[in-house]
Amino acid sequence: MSLPIKDILSHLHINDINHAFSTGSNWGSSPNAFVKDVTSPTDGKKIATVKFATADEYNSVVVTAQKAFKTWRQVPAPKRGEIIRQIGESLRENKKQLGTLVSYEMGKSLQEGYGEVQEMIDICDFAVGLSRQLYGLTMHSERPEHRMYEQYHPLGIVGVISAFNFPVAVWSWNAMLAWVCGDVCIWKPSEKTPLTAIACQHIAQEVFKRNNVDEGVSCLVIGDREIGELMSSDTRVPLVSATGSTRMGKAVSAAVGARLGKSLLELGGNNAIIITENADLDMSLIGAVFGAVGTAGQRCTSTRRLIIHQSVYDAFKEKLVNAYKQIKIGDPLDENNHMGPLIDQDAVALYLDSIEKCKAEGGNFVVEGGKLEGDAYASGCYVKPCIAEVENHFKIVQHETFAPILYLIKYSDLDEAIDLQNGVPQGLSSAIMTNNLREAETFLSYAGSDCGIANVNIGTSGAEIGGAFGGEKETGGGRESGSDAWKVYMRRQTNTINYSKTLPLAQGIKFDL
């Protein structure tokens, strides 16, 4: 471990947590709150204790956020950007400690923990520039001496429901853009990874307090599914951004849609890499292996399927098998290890069940999986990454398993490969490995990948914040992070100004009195 965990917790203001919610520097909880121990999948040890918020406490947070919105929206956007710049600087100062805590609490490798904090820093930088670029449009009116334009206004409260696999980065994608747009945020982190959320809330609220920003711009509510359900049904929360499983996303979408609210959904992925006969196999190997075992296969962009041309299938399979023999599994805080644990023992059970289902359908495992035993794996959350030869139509292949199980599928021509790639319910990330321009452009064309992300000669995992992130079909259709994703956090308004001395009507309609 790069730093003693007790020192990290103290540095980030985390020991035993006696508060279930925060509206900035104001923290609180009910005396009868449900108490939960937070343990690390790395070693199974208790890190700290947290409390869950009640429905009444959630309601008080919303009331405080509503009040804060009325003043925050009046702060000029460039000044909001300056405050976010300071949050980015604070994240830089705390990168080592926060990145280590991400790794220890969630189980991803230390380098990935640092990388997640870097994503937060990057989106802060993006938001600072965006604060001077919240553009509308002007257009010509058909009526003389009239001017038309459109502008964007903040929505109000943005509810953020985040998942355990990226416990802080996805929150920052939402919060930094929402804040620079003039919104306020209420964050419900995963109950599996609340400590990193508490740390981020401390970092943000210290900056807001230093800038005399009202309590309630940044709010945190610790809780389980009940809090997410309250938020989804709450008409005071115009936008709910939810990251998680497709099952969860459908529930959120139904609740938000029933009240005609807005939802931004980032849900499951079943991502494939097509490896053509024209691919650089050594480069393809790097993308495939990192995509499959990075974060122990618990990224929404993790590579689940390799669709390999029949002419290179055996050669590439041999490369994969040899590469998997070199994967080092263990304590994610040891930078020599490639892969850490799954998030908890429930995830291990789902992994083992998926292997059995794959075998039952006829899957042939060329690299066997299984749970790892021994003192080094005492938490019970460590598993072996495995590889199976399958058919794309297998039920288990159509399902997203959040674990390091990689499926190999053979194809004969590119049209078939694209059909296989698209032939799953999910549509998040996709990639093709080829040195053939025609194959690459076909994959990126209207006849190619149906995913929100389509890459050439890189893997499915590892998006940059400059591009909008999200997917289609059962992935939910949402877009977060870069490009013009900021527009989802605002309401669009069309304005017409008449500076003439008459009142002509559109479409030449006459209405004389």
**Secondary structure tally for the chain: helices H, strands E:** 15, 25
pLDDT computed for residue 33 by the predictor: 87
**In one letter, which amino acid is 225?**
R
Pairing of strands 157-161, 239-243: parallel
Residues 6 or more apart in contact with residue 245 via CB below 8 angstroms: 267, 268, 400
Determine whether 266 is an active site residue: yes
d(CA 49, CA 212) in angstroms, rounded, equals: 31
Strand locations in 228-341, DSSP E?
239-243, 262-266, 271-275, 303-309
d(CA 316, CA 234) in angstroms, rounded, equals: 51
> pLDDT tens digits, the chain, 513 residues: what are they?
455 788 898 888 886 677 899 998 889 888 888 999 999 999 999 999 999 999 999 999 999 999 999 999 999 999 999 999 999 999 999 999 999 999 999 999 999 999 999 999 999 999 999 999 999 999 999 999 999 999 999 999 999 999 999 999 999 999 999 999 999 999 999 999 999 999 999 999 999 999 999 899 999 999 999 999 999 999 999 999 999 999 999 999 999 999 999 999 999 999 999 999 999 999 999 999 999 999 999 999 999 999 999 999 999 999 999 999 999 999 999 999 999 999 999 999 999 999 999 999 999 999 999 999 999 999 999 999 999 999 999 999 999 999 999 999 999 999 999 999 999 999 999 999 999 999 999 999 999 999 999 999 999 998 899 999 999 999 999 999 999 999 999 999 999 999 999 999 999 899 887
Identified catalytic residue from 116, 119, 215, 266: 266
H or E segment to which residue 394 belongs: none
H or E segment to which residue 5 belongs: helix 5-11
Pairing of strands 271-275, 303-309: parallel
Q: Burial, 33: exposed, middle or buried (Cβ in 10 Å; 0-12, 13-18, 19+)? A: buried
Question: Residue 174: left (phi > 0), alpha (psi -120 to 50), or beta?
Answer: alpha
Length of the chain: 513
In the numeric block, the tokens 């994969």 are attached to 320
pLDDT computed for residue 3 by the predictor: 59
- pTM of this structure: 0.96
DSSP string, 55-74: HHHHHHHHHHHHHHHHHHTT
d(CA 213, CA 64) in angstroms, rounded, equals: 13
pLDDT computed for residue 249 by the predictor: 97
Q: Which two tokens stand for residue 415?
A: 């049209």
Q: Which two tokens stand for residue 236?
A: 């005071």
Residue 502 CB neighbour total at 10 angstroms:
8
Whether domain 5-267+476-493 has CATH 3.40.605.10: yes
SS3 388: strand
CATH number of 271-464: 3.40.309.10
pLDDT computed for residue 1 by the predictor: 45
pLDDT computed for residue 29 by the predictor: 87
The secondary structure of residue 433, as a DSSP letter, is E
d(CA 317, CA 366) in angstroms, rounded, equals: 9
For residues 498 and 145, the answer to whether their CB atoms sit within 8 Å is yes
Q: Which two tokens stand for residue 262?
A: 């807005």
Question: Residue 481: left (phi > 0), alpha (psi -120 to 50), or beta?
Answer: left
d(CA 213, CA 340) in angstroms, rounded, equals: 40
Residues 6 or more apart in contact with residue 110 via CB below 8 angstroms: 2, 99, 100, 103, 332, 333, 334, 335
Secondary structure string (H, E, C) spanning 134-190: CCCEEECCCCCCEEEEEEEEECCEEEEECCCCCCCHHHHHHHHHHHHHCCEEEEECC
357-394: buried (b, 16+ CB within 10 Å) or exposed (e) per residue?
bbeeeebeebbebebeeeeebebbbbbbbbbbbbebeb
Q: Which two tokens stand for residue 419?
A: 């059909």
SS3 306: strand
**In one letter, which amino acid is 146?**
H
**In one letter, which amino acid is 145?**
E
Q: Which two tokens stand for residue 410?
A: 């053979």
Strand locations in 197-286, DSSP E?
218-221, 239-243, 262-266, 271-275
In the numeric block, the tokens 């030869």 are attached to 389
CA atoms within 13 A on the CB side of 200: 29
**Residue 374: C-alpha distances to residues 44, 216, 379, 382, 383 (Å):** 13, 47, 10, 10, 12
SS3 140: coil
Domain spans of the chain?
Answer: 5-267+476-493, 271-464
